[in-house]
Amino acid sequence: MRIQTGHGTIPLITLIGIWSISALNALPGLAVSPILGKLSVIFPHSTELDIQMLSSLPSLLVIPFILLAGKLTERVNFIRLLQAGLAIFALSGILYLLSNKMWQLIAVSAMLGVGSGMIVPLSTGLISKYFSGAYRVKQFGLSSAITNVTLVVATTVTGYLAEVNWHLPFVVYLLPIVSLVLSVYLKRSMDSEGDSSLAKKESSDGSEDEEVDTDTLHSKYGINVKHLVQVMFFYGLSTFLALVVTFNLPFLMEEYHFTSGNSGIMISLFFLAIMAPGFFLNQIVGRLKEKTKFYSLLSIAIGLALIWISPKEWVIAPGCILVGLGYGVIQPIIYDKTTHTAISKKVTLALAFVMMMNYLAILLCPFIIDFFQSMFHIKTQQFGFVFNLCITIVTLIWAYVRRHEFLFNDQLK
């Protein structure tokens, strides 16, 4: 079976290989979460800093290695770079299972960040290499959906495994072995599909670069820096607005006297909602066009308002779903928008800069909200939702006013 790409076809096994790499984007730090509360018991001599490093070090190291991998794609064989990242990722999973000391876990966490950082931009880079037009938008949507499905499933599985043995959640870090095997088919596809989609795309006289504007084509960097910075800022901001659900909802529900199980269900609904638009992204963008991001931000705003106004589960649940749906549309179309900011050989580097903003937002979100909460001397956990709601309203007004400009005009071509 062969899959249409917009300029030819590729084997189904090649697409499965690309999807498997997308699934790995959700894994860094995931296995540590279920055992964070147990680490002080498992390692009685460990400090609070040790535990914080174990959970945050992968995200810290992902950022520079995303950028490094994006730059290396211009000089190093794409598949070899991908295989190196997958091998480091998989090796970290094996070493996690063998580690019995805190310093060993911290060292392996650093390795995990390196491996994960190397494959993150390559997962979207592969989609941009193989697909174009509406087919690419569809694949970015599916990639986002697969990432979030993996997140929900793996979170549930690691939670159960942690109850059996604290080492078992690290089994999820062995999944890159599957992608490593499938990368062989990716390499064969790139090497042998001489008369098919990828070769046609790369050998055509600038056909793929027809999707970028004149300023980009004539830029000495091969990237429209102004447009790329706009996309980076908007993606980082959108991620920050949605992250309040994962970071602050458990504390808000505790303030409302709900159990951790209740907040877990709400957060699961949030991630499932992020997943859903990926399966219908072409239809959504085709209908909403230049107002796609406006309506997505409106969904986020209504969701944040619902979570804020009522301590009732039946109100909080649709709030989480609406925030997730809004962000679930924004994330993949941002990836597609990024491909229009650079010439073909620079697209993966541009994607690396944009995807870096996701991890930067994850790192900074709690600190930003805590800073403003302290500045206004507000104690309630509702503050984060009100604060992000205000920012969302300003952003959606911006999105409507500028709906015909590059950043917000998402009409399918």
H helix intervals, 256-382: 260-275, 281-288, 292-309, 313-339, 347-375
Structural domains of the chain sorted by starting position, each given as residue range(s) with its CATH number in brackets: 2-204 (1.20.1250.20), 225-401 (1.20.1250.20)
Q: What are 37-67's pLDDT values in tens digits? A: 677 788 888 887 787 788 788 888 999 999 9
DSSP annotation of 170 reads G
So what's the pLDDT on residue 176? 93
So what's the pLDDT on residue 204? 46
- Please, are residues 151 and 26 in contact by the beta-carbon 8 Å criterion? yes
**Those residues with Cβ within 8 angstroms of residue 299's Cβ, 6 or more apart along the chain or in another chain:** 322, 323, 325, 326, 329
So what's the pLDDT on residue 281? 92
So what's the pLDDT on residue 201? 53
CA distance 206 to 336: 18
So what's the pLDDT on residue 294? 95
DSSP annotation of 45 reads T
CA torsion angle for 292, 293, 296, 300 (degrees, to 10)?
-170
So what's the pLDDT on residue 110? 92
Q: What are 82-119's pLDDT values in tens digits? A: 999 999 999 999 999 998 888 899 999 999 999 999 99
So what's the pLDDT on residue 27? 83
Pairing label, strands 9-11, 2-4: antiparallel
So what's the pLDDT on residue 216? 66
Within its chain, how far is the Cα of 75 from the centroid? 25
So what's the pLDDT on residue 72? 92
- Amino acid (1-letter code) at residue 175: L
So what's the pLDDT on residue 165? 87
So what's the pLDDT on residue 30? 74
Three-state secondary structure call for residue 3: strand
Stretches in the chain below the pLDDT threshold 50: 194-195, 203-208
